[in-house]
Amino acid sequence: MLYLEDYLEMIEHLPQELRDRFTEMREMDLQVQNAMDSLDERVKQFFANARKMKPEQRDQDFDKIRKDYYKALEDADEKVQIANQIYDLVDRYLRRLDQELQKFKMELEADNAGITEILERRSLELDKPPPSCAKAEKRKHAATTSSTPGGVSTGQQAEK
């Protein structure tokens, strides 16, 4: 019945691993964005000067720009791969948690039939906001309005 402790031990390094992967993805994103900004400027310059260039120089510059765009595209694809790896990592941990929860439920049910349904119902009830919040708001609103001598509410705060 040490499922929770075992699972917590297993995921102990997950936050750091996720942080590392997200940092790597952010760095890739900055690299791609910087490359695209640079390429946009180079393309503008290329087309502004294309008529003045010799055909060989124009072809050479065009090929360099194209290769750099492909490099930026590869980096963007790598960023997508990192995102998929993060998804797979979290998915593996969630599947493992589901398995451990199922084992825990079976163990609880073996000791006390029907207990998991009762516990789940209680848990859902605890997740609901308390009904007294709405009543407190109504009382607060009513206390902040004043009435005229005829009993009509003015909606203004009463003076003390």
Cα–Cα distance for residue pair 11/4, rounded to 1 Å: 11
Per-residue DSSP letter, 130: P
The 10s digit of each residue's pLDDT in 100-143 is 888 888 888 888 888 888 888 888 888 888 776 555 555 555 44
Using alpha carbons only, what angle is made at residue 31 by residues 30 and 34, rounded to the nearest 5 degrees? 80
**DSSP helix, strand, coil percent of the chain (3-state; round to 5):** 80, 0, 20
Per-residue DSSP letter, 140: H
Per-residue pLDDT, averaged over 16-39, amounts to 94
The DSSP-derived string for 31-89 is: HHHHHHHHHHHHHHHHHHHGGGS-HHHHHHHHHHHHHHHHHHHHHHHHHHHHHHHHHHH
Q: Enter the pTM of the model.
A: 0.62
99-123 per-residue burial string, b: 16 or more CB within 10 A, e: under 16:
ebeeebbeeeeeeeeeebeeeeeee
pLDDT reported for residue 115: 86
pLDDT band at 160 (very low <50, low <70, confident <90, very high): very low
Examine the pLDDT at 34 and tell me if it is beyond 90. Answer: yes
Residues 6 or more apart in contact with residue 120 via CB below 8 angstroms: none
The 10s digit of each residue's pLDDT in 42-85 is 999 999 999 999 999 999 999 999 999 999 999 999 999 999 99
